[in-house]
Amino acid sequence: MAGRFIEAATSRRAVLASAGALAIAGPAAARISPVTPSNPLVRQRADAQIFKHRDGQYYMTASVPEYDRLVLRRAPTLAGLSTSQETVIWRRPATGKLGGYIWAPELHWFDGAWRLYFAAGDAGAPFHIRTYVLRCQDKDPLTGRWAMEGQFQTPWDTFTLDSTVFSHRGVRYILWAQTEPGIKTNSNLYLAPMATPTTLARPPARLTVPTLDWEIRGFKVAEGPAPLHRNGKLFISYSASATDDRYCLGLLSADEDADLMAPASWSKSPEPVFKTCEETRIWGPGHNSFTVDEQGRDVLVYHGRDYKEIKGDPLFDPNRHTRVQRLYYKPDGTPDFGVPVGAGEVPDRFSPLDRPGMFLRHEGDRPVVGAGELPTTQFRQKPGLAGPGTVSLEPILKPGSVLAVGANGAVEIVPAGGGDPKRASFKRGVGLAGKGVSFAGLSGGHLRHRDGVVLVGGGDMGAATFAVT
């Protein structure tokens, strides 16, 4: 089965093994390393679902600004999705049923067929949103013939959207957002085992209702659920509030052995886990999915705008762009979403081999090696200011600034446009310790730390060799 959950549900041990293999890889592995994706990955595509299917290809579908059609694209790499040809597999009719707004498609493979779940209104009543299922009659979803399988049936004929399908302990579930009669919210989250692609095997469980301050700004919303199985837990991220800069992600958690249909099995994050970040200049991140990169490392997929002020209804502002970034985990195994990383190359974290669990990070304008909040440990490897063959390291919380070598080899954070570009550039190579990576200063020495102080110079190889995580 393809989708947000199944394709992302490789064991955590396998993910860590792949990440470790990449971090200690030698020159041969470095040569075949895929191109780093750059954000935004795909412009003007909201509610994106990206997953790596068992055929090794990445598939992507999303809402288009016109809300009038269903689209798919495919590529062998995450970065390749940005330029891959997009195929229209279905267009709404000009009149009648399904002739309204077309929202948030999701592609899934199960029972030997591709299926696309999507929300649609009617012509003349575009917000009469219900969920429908298309089935592909052929093996290739981009070239195959698609036919209507039916409307997704729930206990209430009300506003229904954002359906996703996953399996756990041999049971196939469907997870979705809906308005429930008698509850004064725009949408809540529901879960049920499936009998068929369009029907439930038992009455649904209501997992959460938006009640917290950050869930009810503008609208009372819990929508866009995305499941993830990691570290002995099931997690469901979801989107909350209005679709402007207040849009954000919350998180539900349950033990993997719990009764998923018991609402008491699920706990809710008291604060949003992912929200607008002024420093990185991304507003209203939300409606996410999960996938893995070419090395098997977890990746967060979401949309967000690169400006705050919107003219008119934010739903009709076209510039919700698809973005991707690495997903990390806290010591207790809970996902650490960090902040939306901003425009440019997807960033990395660098852990010196002599300080496992510690990272190159910054405290304000001072680079250090140590422990701290995730966003302070993420650096973008950009084309070097000194020209071809060099790289510059940009902290995500300080776009437009880079690490630079100062007096006596001390490293500082400076504006990228000022000073000597050679001092703000490095040559990246296989780590001095024979694994990982090292960054050579253009005037000699290597980027390293000495008791947590970051500098460029000589010394122990482990302090100048970084695992990339």
Burial per residue of 387-405, b for 16 or more beta-carbon CB atoms within 10 angstroms, e otherwise: eeebbbbbbbbbbebbbbb
User: How remote is the C-alpha of 453 from its chain's centroid?
Assistant: 32
Nearby residues of 338 by Cβ (< 8 Å), 6 or more positions away? 274, 325, 328, 373, 374, 375, 378
**How many angstroms from the chain centroid is the CA of residue 388?**
30
Phi, psi of 151 (to 5 degrees): -90, 140
Helices assigned H by DSSP within 248-393: none
Neighbours of 356 (CB within 10 A): 9
Quick check: is 47 catalytic?
yes
Annotated active-site residue 336? The verdict is no
Sole residue written with tokens 């070097």: 384
357 class by beta-carbon count within 10 Å (0-12 exposed, 13-18 middle, 19+ buried) = exposed
Alpha carbon 288 to chain centroid, angstroms:
6
Catalytic residue of the set 7, 47, 122, 294: 47
Secondary structure letter of residue 374 according to DSSP? G
220 CB contacts (<8 Å, ≥6 apart)?
A: 184, 185, 186, 210
Q: What are phi and psi of 227, to 5 degrees?
A: -85, 150
* Side-chain half-sphere CA neighbours of 86 within 13 A: 17
Sign of CA dihedral 216, 218, 221, 223: negative
For 27, phi and psi rounded to 5 degrees?
-60, -40
Q: 164 vs 56, 118, 185, 194, CA distance in Å?
A: 21, 10, 21, 11
For the record, the structure tokens of 204 come out as 């649904």
In the set 223, 345, 348, 394, the catalytic residue is 223
Give the residue numbers annotated as catalytic, written as ranges: 47, 223
